[in-house]
């Protein structure tokens, strides 16, 4: 208790009998700051727009602000029950289509063809493997009515159809948030909305 007779509020406490929440860490403060909240609100509005299925977020993945934003979007979407499945995966350093497919399948909990691409096989055989994986992945996603996939640290332009992620007329319930440091890559992927962080 300080000299004024009031309880010290640092780290939680009471003032005139009222309970106060514990003090927030730097990371939690970033989560609750006003710009982050407003950006989350804008993204949520885009997610609830039936005409939008792919959203881009341009910024650095490994920042507290970006991590907090994605966490906020995920928790808000769960609270509103907008999707049956909400998953996030990082594709940092990944450029191989087969490995990208496997990483997305793993995070979704989807089993796809395990035969690995190899330089020993003719390129036509590798293409068949990738195409079959895409068919299996797409089929699994289509079984879910509403899916949100958040893909971060994108180093290369992705062709969602080749990977096996159905969207638009192919599956209106599947929405994708793509995070990249490159606004150009996001534009090339034809994201319908791009938010700068």
Contact 146, 83 (CB under 8 A): yes
Q: Is residue 43 part of a domain?
A: yes
Q: Is the pLDDT of residue 18 over 50?
A: no
Q: List the Cα angle 19/79/107 in 5-degree steps.
A: 120
What is the total count of domains within the chain?
Answer: 1
User: Does residue 6 lie within any of the structural domains?
Assistant: no
Residue 97 has pLDDT above 60, yes or no: yes
**Residues 163-174, mean pLDDT to the nearest whole number:** 92
- Domain assignment present for 167: yes
Alpha carbons 55 and 43: distance in angstroms, whole number: 8
Tokens 């979407």: give the residue.
77
- As a whole number of Å, the CA-based R_g of the chain is 21
Is 15 part of any domain?
Answer: no
Report how far residue 44's alpha carbon sits from residue 125's, in angstroms, rounded to the nearest whole number.
41
User: In sequence order, what are the residues at sequence separation of 6 or more whose Cβ sits closer than 8 angstroms to the Cβ of residue 131?
Assistant: none
pTM: 0.77
Residue at 8 is within a domain: no
Residue 3 lies in a domain: no
On whether residue 12 sits in a domain, the answer given is: no
What is the arithmetic mean of pLDDT over 49-77? 91
Range of the domain at 95: 22-196
Mean pLDDT of 147-160: 86
pLDDT digits (tens, 9 = 90+) for 27-46: 444 445 777 889 999 999 99
CATH number at residue 151: 3.40.50.300
Is residue 7 one of the residues assigned to a domain?
no
Looking at the DSSP bridge assignments, the partners of residue 86 are 148
């Amino acid at each position: 208790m300080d000299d004024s007779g009031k309880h010290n509020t640092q780290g939680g406490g009471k003032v005139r009998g009222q309970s106060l929440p514990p003090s927030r860490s730097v990371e939690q403060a970033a989560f609750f700051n006003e710009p982050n909240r407003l950006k989350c609100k804008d993204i949520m509005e885009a997610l609830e727009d039936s005409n939008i299925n792919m959203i881009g977020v341009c910024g650095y993945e490994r920042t507290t602000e970006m991590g907090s934003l994605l966490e906020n979007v995920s928790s808000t979407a769960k609270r509103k029950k907008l999707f049956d499945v909400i998953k996030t995966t990082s594709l940092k350093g990944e450029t191989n289509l087969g490995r990208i497919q496997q990483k997305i399948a793993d995070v979704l909990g989807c089993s796809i063809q395990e035969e690995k691409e190899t330089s020993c096989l003719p390129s036509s055989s590798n293409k068949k493997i990738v195409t079959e994986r895409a068919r299996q992945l797409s089929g699994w996603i289509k079984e879910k009515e509403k899916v949100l996939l958040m893909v971060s640290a994108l180093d290369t332009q992705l062709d969602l159809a080749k990977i096996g992620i159905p969207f638009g007329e192919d599956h209106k319930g599947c929405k994708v948030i793509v995070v990249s440091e490159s606004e150009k890559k996001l534009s090339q992927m034809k994201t319908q909305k791009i938010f700068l962080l």
